[in-house]
Amino acid sequence: ETLDASGLHLLPGAIDAHVHFREPGYTHKEDWGTGTAAAAMGGVTTVFEMPNTNPPTGTPDALALKLKAAEKAHVDFGIYGLLAEDNIDQLEALIDGGVAAFKCFMGNTFGNLPSPSTGAMLEGFEILAKHGMRCSLHAETASIMAWRQRKLAAAGRHDPLAHLASRPAVVATEAVARAAILAEWTGARIHVLHISSADELRPLREAKARGVDITGETCPHYLLFDEHAYETLGSIIRVNPPVREKHHQTALWEALSDGTIDMIATDHAPHDPAEKRRDDIWTADCGFPGVETQMQLMLTAVNEGRFTLAEYVRMSAGAPARAFGLFPRKGALTVGSDADIAFVDMRRRHVIRAAELHSRGKITPFEGMETVGLPIHTMVRGRFAMRDRRLCAETAGWGRSVRRAQAMPTPQPRNLDQTMEAVLRPPAPASARPRAVA
Ligand code: NCD
Ligand code: ZN
Ligand code: ZN
């Protein structure tokens, strides 16, 4: 069987650094079969899956359960380990067990995992720095959020915009600034998840200028929706952090084009439709699926002249490959070299329909949107996971763990030795330190 790819563009398969596949624990929302099927249908060949499952991926036993669940994956995957207050002594074992990166919930979100103290984060970052492991941050400050929510509860929270008001941009901004300081002190690599506001960009830019190895992502929903979405979509658009006002959206597009935001990820967060469609936005679960629709939405942006196809590939594949160590040899351009390919038709029109999504969470704020540009075939390490817009069922189980590339270059520690005593000393001035390699 030959493939006629005339008229199609070949892109590196997208690497989505932020998905929630819910297994083990919440398989009525999603499982590894449905989640990775959605990825394959979206031109995504590698995903990094989040630890807020049940049990959370904070111990080697929980990691083993997750790796078992992932055995049916259609696409390659990295597993996130949890960095929490009570499992700092488990981090080394999680690394040995094959996690690809870590996730730290600085603020409250689905799964209700308590956020670690700043001290535990510092200690955890010190351990991750030794291994060159990146820590991705749900960068929201729990204590500011709790304070705002008390105020809102007192005022009555019937306004649908109250969800936005409960997590003002300062909630994220303070967390980014604090995490960047801890990364600078320990030499840890960090990644800011779901950037939603103009305000977070300042501590991100400042940290980059100081030489901190920090990357950032935004998601299609922050680029395509603003506060008007609360009137039209109600609880469906409820997500952490919230979709914000127009001026934030404008700043996010600018930050993508100037490189402040490195990559596009989706925060694919499926829920049962019954858990999403609520009259009272406060009782709806936060998040919605995204891994299947990212590429077509962003190719539409390419067609609209928002950025070039080459820039899209940098944001969808190049930057996440670099940040999460998927280049086996330093400097070697190996994205796509193991035939992770999205074959896309840049002119194909397609209307997004929740009912047609492969995710179990058949509800999407992008319902009814017409897109231009669509993945037609997806190849994972040389095998078709999607062909002619159909899932190749026989690739269930073909996906494998990417782990952390073994030859990942060692980070430059900000301090001479990596002991807690060293961490207690202030970092050397920027001029005296080697710059992180861009
Ligand atoms: C995510 C989920 O449902 O797991 N929800 C969300 O609103 N983004 C959790 C998260 O990433 O904060
Ligand atoms: Zn989050
Ligand atoms: Zn998330």
Q: What is the ipTM of this complex?
A: 0.99
Query: Does pLDDT of 41 surpass 50?
Result: yes
Centroid of ligand 3 to alpha carbon of 221 (angstroms): 13
| C-beta of 276 in contact with ligand 1 (< 6 A) | no
| C-beta of 217 in contact with ligand 1 (< 6 A) | no
| C-beta of 116 in contact with ligand 1 (< 6 A) | no
Query: Does pLDDT of 367 surpass 80?
Result: yes
Query: Does pLDDT of 315 surpass 90?
Result: yes
The H-assigned helical ranges of 241-362 are 246-257, 273-276, 294-303, 309-313, 319-323
| C-beta of 109 in contact with ligand 1 (< 6 A) | yes
Centroid of ligand 2 to alpha carbon of 269 (angstroms): 9
Query: Does pLDDT of 418 surpass 50?
Result: no
| 424-436: average pLDDT | 51
Helices (H) and strands (E) in the chain, counts: 16, 13
| C-beta of 287 in contact with ligand 1 (< 6 A) | yes
Atom of ligand 1 nearest to the CA of 270: 3
Q: Are 100 and 79 in contact (CB under 8 A)?
A: yes
Give, for ligand 1, the residue of 52, 103, 271 to mutate: max count of ligand atoms closer than 8 Å to Cβ: 52
Atom of ligand 1 nearest to the CA of 105: 12
Rounded Cα gap, residues 289 and 371, in angstroms: 17
In this structure, of 9-13, 21-25, 410-414, the range with the lowest mean pLDDT score is 410-414
Rounded Cα gap, residues 104 and 82, in angstroms: 6
Which residues fall inside 5 Å of ion ligand 3, going by CB? 267
Query: Does pLDDT of 432 surpass 80?
Result: no
pLDDT at 229 (0 to 100): 97
Query: Does pLDDT of 376 surpass 70?
Result: yes
Q: Are 291 and 45 in contact (CB under 8 A)?
A: no
The neighbour count for residue 310, using CB atoms within 10 Å, is: 11
Instruction: Say which residues have a Cβ less than 8 Å from residue 79's Cβ, sequence separation at least 6.
Output: 48, 49, 51, 57, 63, 66, 67, 70, 98, 99, 100, 401
How do 370-380 and 383-387 pair as beta strands? antiparallel
Across the chain, what does the average pLDDT equal?
Answer: 91
Centroid of ligand 1 to alpha carbon of 52 (angstroms): 9
pLDDT at 430 (0 to 100): 52
Centroid of ligand 2 to alpha carbon of 194 (angstroms): 7
- DSSP annotation of 401: B
- Closest C-alpha to ligand 1, atom 9: 110
Confidence grade of residue 40 (pLDDT, cut at 50, 70, 90)? very high
pLDDT at 20 (0 to 100): 98
Give, for ligand 1, the residue of 26, 80, 106, 110 to mutate: max count of ligand atoms closer than 8 Å to Cβ: 110
Atom of ligand 1 nearest to the CA of 20: 4
The H-assigned helical ranges of 309-368 are 309-313, 319-323
Long-range contacts of 117-123 (CB under 8 A, 24+ apart): 117/85, 118/178, 118/182, 120/84, 120/85, 120/88, 121/83, 121/179, 121/182, 122/182, 122/185, 122/186, 122/423, 123/88, 123/420
Task: Please report which ligand is nearest the Cα atom of 52.
Answer: 1
Query: Does pLDDT of 168 surpass 70?
Result: yes
Centroid of ligand 1 to alpha carbon of 12 (angstroms): 27
Task: Please report which ligand is nearest the Cα atom of 137.
Answer: 2
pLDDT at 162 (0 to 100): 84
Q: Distances from the Cα of 398 to the Cαs of 74, 121, 316, in angstroms? A: 6, 35, 22
| C-beta of 229 in contact with ligand 1 (< 6 A) | no
Task: Please report which ligand is nearest the Cα atom of 243.
Answer: 1
| C-beta of 52 in contact with ligand 1 (< 6 A) | yes
Task: Please report which ligand is nearest the Cα atom of 19.
Answer: 3
Atom of ligand 1 nearest to the CA of 109: 12
Instruction: Say which residues have a Cβ less than 8 Å from residue 108's Cβ, sequence separation at least 6.
Output: 115, 140, 142, 145, 146
Instruction: Say which residues have a Cβ less than 8 Å from residue 53's Cβ, sequence separation at least 6.
Output: 20, 21, 22, 23, 24, 25, 26, 62, 66, 111
Q: Are 410 and 132 in contact (CB under 8 A)?
A: yes
Joined together, the tokens standing for residue 5 give: 């790819």
Give, for ligand 1, the residue of 105, 145, 267 to mutate: max count of ligand atoms closer than 8 Å to Cβ: 267
| C-beta of 342 in contact with ligand 1 (< 6 A) | no
Cis peptide before 55 (omega within 30 of 0): yes
| 235-251: average pLDDT | 97
Rounded Cα gap, residues 299 and 385, in angstroms: 20
| 71-77: average pLDDT | 97
Rounded Cα gap, residues 106 and 189, in angstroms: 16
The larger pLDDT score, comparing residue 387 to residue 152, is at 387
| 291-315: average pLDDT | 97
Query: Does pLDDT of 404 surpass 80?
Result: no
| C-beta of 20 in contact with ligand 1 (< 6 A) | yes
